[in-house]
């Protein structure tokens, strides 16, 4: 079993309240979950108003498949979500 994981740190410009930040994060998480059938959660920077860190995971039987799906997920965030990405990492582990 291969678990492929992605971590994204991004800045959300023009956010004035935590409620606005949560709305944007909920939208990002829902898109990734629906489109790529992956688990997604906010994993750090919860108290920051303009920055967020999310993590996602996908279980498959192929490292290349899992990582290619996560690269597509990253491209979706980069293309469709109004955020500035500061860091992204993708890696896989075999269990």
The Cα 2–Cα 60 span in angstroms is 5
pLDDT at 68: 94
- Phi (first) and psi of residue 85, to 5 degrees: -80, 125
pTM for the predicted model, two decimal places: 0.85
pLDDT tens string 4-63 = 999 999 999 888 888 888 998 999 999 999 999 999 999 988 888 889 999 999 999 999
pLDDT at 82: 85
> What residue segments make up the domains of the chain, in order of their start?
2-94
**Residue whose C-alpha is closest to residue 29's, from 2, 8, 60, 4:** 8
2-94 fold: Alpha-Beta Plaits (3.30.70)
């Amino acid at each position: 079993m291969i678990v492929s994981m992605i971590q994204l740190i991004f800045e959300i410009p023009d956010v004035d309240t935590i409620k606005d930040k949560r709305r944007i994060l909920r939208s990002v998480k829902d898109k990734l979950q629906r489109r790529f059938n992956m688990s997604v959660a906010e994993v750090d920077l919860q108290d920051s108003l303009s920055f967020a860190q999310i993590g996602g995971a996908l279980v498959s039987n192929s490292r290349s498949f899992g990582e290619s799906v996560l690269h597509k997920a990253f491209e979706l965030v980069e293309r469709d979500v109004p955020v500035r990405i500061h860091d992204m990492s993708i890696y896989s582990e075999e269990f």
